[in-house]
Chains A and B, each alone.
Chain A
Amino acid sequence: KNQVEQSPQSLIILEGKNCTLQCNYTVSPFSNLRWYKQDTGRGPVSLTIMTFSENTKSNGRYTATLDADTKQSSLHITASQLSDSASYICVVSDYGNNRLAFGKGNQVVVIP
């Protein structure tokens, strides 16, 4: 069974600080990995997408890393803002079944 595990489940950070979210997956064969940002009650919005050959990708203050050997990814948020408060979902594409495996999300709360 394909799985995507994210940690920590939730965290609270001060505005202006950095944080790192973790994603471990067991999906195989692996096609690509995405990080989505989901505001409360809204649909997820894509932040980054990486194939197995890519190690890092940035989107503004968001930087994602990928280690396809250890099946780990991280999302680093730099200089957090109040608007970064959201759930961050790691999504791994199963190459064989063309299916998407979703993590439960990292709930981030940024406080002033």
Chain B
Amino acid sequence: DAGVTQSPTHLIKTRGQQVTLRCSPISGHKSVSWYQQVLGQGPQFIFQYYEKEERGRGNFPDRFSARQFPNYSSELNVNALLLGDSALYLCASSLPGEDTQYFGPGTRLTVL
């Protein structure tokens, strides 16, 4: 069984650039959540999407946006990158009615 997949695995950007991260949930999972994990810290909630609608948003600036597609895959966009955006970005999916989340391997973003 394929788990949650994310692409790319690593990414290097410079300040001010824009980035798009992609996530494919486990088959049958309709909910996708995005987390930012800075080195040495626990994951911080960014967004949750369910059935293509935003169901939750964490304390992140408007530079962060996301969307979910009809096939339940999702994209996370970050505009005007800052050095502090360097982190591991995790995507997690879950089944309808369950809050157990299955995490992908993450995308390591480095902003120079």
Q: Do A and B come from one complex?
A: yes
Q: Which B83-112 residues have a C-beta within 8 angstroms of A? A: 88, 90, 92, 99-106, 108
Interface size on B, residues (CB 8 A): 21
Q: CB < 8 Å: which of A45, A89, A98 contacts B42?
A: A89
Of the four ranges (under 10, 10 to 19, 20 to 34, 35 or more), the interface on chain A belongs to 20 to 34
The chain B residue sitting closest to A90, CB to CB, is: B42
Q: In the complex the two chains form, is A46's CB within 8 Å of B88's CB?
A: no
User: CB-defined interface of B1-35 with A at 8 Å, one 1/0 digit per residue?
Assistant: 00010000000000000000000000000000001
- CB of A61 to closest CB in B, whole Å: 21
Q: Does A27 touch B at the CB level, under 8 Å?
A: no
Q: How far is the CA of A4 from the CA of B44 in the complex (A)?
A: 12
Query: Number of contacts between A and B (CB, 8 Å)?
Result: 46
Q: In the complex the two chains form, is A100's CB within 8 Å of B41's CB?
A: no
User: CB-defined interface of B47-76 with A at 8 Å, one 1/0 digit per residue?
Assistant: 000000000100000000000000000000
- CB of A31 to closest CB in B, whole Å: 7
Which residues does chain B contribute within 8 Å of A104, judged by CB atoms?
Answer: 40-42
Q: A41 with B88: in contact, given A49-B100, A93-B99 (CB under 8 Å)?
A: yes
Which residues does chain B contribute within 8 Å of A60, judged by CB atoms?
Answer: none
Residues of A within 8 A of B (CB): 4, 31-32, 34, 36, 41-46, 49, 89, 93, 98-100, 102-105, 107
Residues of B within 8 A of A (CB): 4, 35, 40-45, 56, 88, 90, 92, 99-106, 108
